[in-house]
Amino acid sequence: MISKASAQPSPGADTSGDSYLPHHGNGGYRVRHYDLELDYKIGPNRLSASAAITAEATQALSRFTLDFGEFRINRVLVNGKPAKYTRRAHKLQVKPAKSLALGSEFLVEVHYVGNPRPLPGLWGDIGWDELTDGSLVASQPVGAPSWFPCNDHPADKATYRVTLTTSSPYLVAVTGNLVSRYTRASTTQWVFERPEPTPTYLMSVQIGRYDDIVLVSGGVPQRAAVPPRLRRAFARDFGRQVQIMDSLQRMFGPYPFGEYVVVVTDDDLDDPIEAQGMSIFGANHVDGRRTHERLVVHELAHQWFGNSLTVADWRHIWLNEGFATYAEWLWSEESGGQSAHAWAKTWHARMKLKPADLRLADPGVSRMFDERVYKRGGLLLHALRSELGDAVFFPLVKAWAMENRHGLVTTAGFVALAERFAGRSLTAFFDAWLDAPALPPLPA
């Protein structure tokens, strides 16, 4: 496991130092806490907001930057005093009245208003988006600045308090524990707290005309926000949610958050969305026939791999997607479907037909979400299971999740832990699966 200190963004004021997305995230400080006050009008898509950001300077700072979208800024304060600021692309450059000393804690307040909209990127438009009747936030990997000023890098995990006020007929779900709800006239104020260290891209807001459904109250509290028209189909498609949670906890250790929330939008979505303690599915993922149950498993597995265990740099993305993919195959094996090995054989055959030009350990920024990262990551884990045997593999996976709980992870850290559990060098194995573009043969 790498130390948290070694994983922090580099000192450059307006760069994170990330190998793939250096212009997302900032150097010179790390955020401890975000306190967001949001007042949202659904019809005109109008957000009036303030963000209070508690941070610690990791170097002396005469200025610093935040990632932020296209809002009108009313004022910026640093430690209660007005600060000068300028805008450049999606960077808010702040010059406090007094320089900040190394190691000092400081408070930044940004008051802003505007129409939130997704930010363009390599993967399309990402961030706060309007639904037919409501809104959603899908921030992975760079959409968080579409709704609040932040240090938008996965290595800078912080705690959150989010207060959102909107029209009372709408249900609001924010990634966090609901601590209060207060209705006045036609609006309701919702307050959520996220006490676990959380990267910006995993914070989400969901607003819609949803029914609030309790899935289970004992053990890990689980609930869902579902359009009334989809309740019957949802009950079938998510009918094994409790068993899936129990299965993943046996394999990966205790669920890492205080609750799990499923949101089904009334609109179709290209893909489900992961968030901290929450997964968001489109109406097209609910058909009453469990057609998409693998996605239910995949998104829940991300709560361990991707959310609790967060990549220190985006080039390690296979650690998120490979584990979530292999969880699909393990659940199929446990629930009476195809064995994990049968799934591995199927996907190995398909991956052999793809170009052999991707290195799993470093796929490149344009291929972060390439299908081969997902499937070859799952194949690596299945091959490692064959290499080590179940008696070593499953304790290794659980230790990986437990020892790095709410921390930052790298490929090198996983390799080192696997070798510790194996009691021998696995250099040849990992060289073949992680660094060679050619797909290795699948063990029998």
Question: Active-site residue numbers?
Answer: 299, 374
As a whole number of angstroms, the distance between CA 181 and CA 189 comes to 6
| Residue 341 known to bind ligand | no
Positive or negative torsion for Cα 167, 168, 169, 171: positive
Residue 163 — φ and ψ, nearest 5°?
-110, 120
Residue 79 region by backbone torsions, left for phi larger than 0, else alpha for psi between -120 and 50, else beta: left
Which string of b and e fits 1-16 if b means at least 16 CB within 10 Å?
bbeeeebbbeeebbbb
Residue 87: both structure tokens together: 């805008």
Total residues belonging to the chain? 444
| Residue 298 known to bind ligand | yes
As a whole number of angstroms, the distance between CA 355 and CA 45 comes to 43
DSSP calls for 44-108: TTEEEEEEEEEEEESS-BS-EEEE--S-EEEEEEETTEE-EEEEETTEEEEE-SSPBPTT-EEEE
Three-state SS at 261: strand
Question: Is residue 12 a contact partner of residue 59, using CB atoms and an 8 Å limit?
Answer: no
DSSP β-ladder status, 124-131 and 84-88: unpaired
Kindly tell me the burial class for residue 438, based on how many C-beta atoms sit within 10 Å of its own C-beta (0-12, 13-18, 19 or more).
exposed
- Which of 188, 288, 274, 283 is closest to 232 using CA atoms? 288
Q: Specify binding-site residues.
A: 298, 302, 321
Q: Specify binding-site residues for Zn(2+).
A: 298, 302, 321
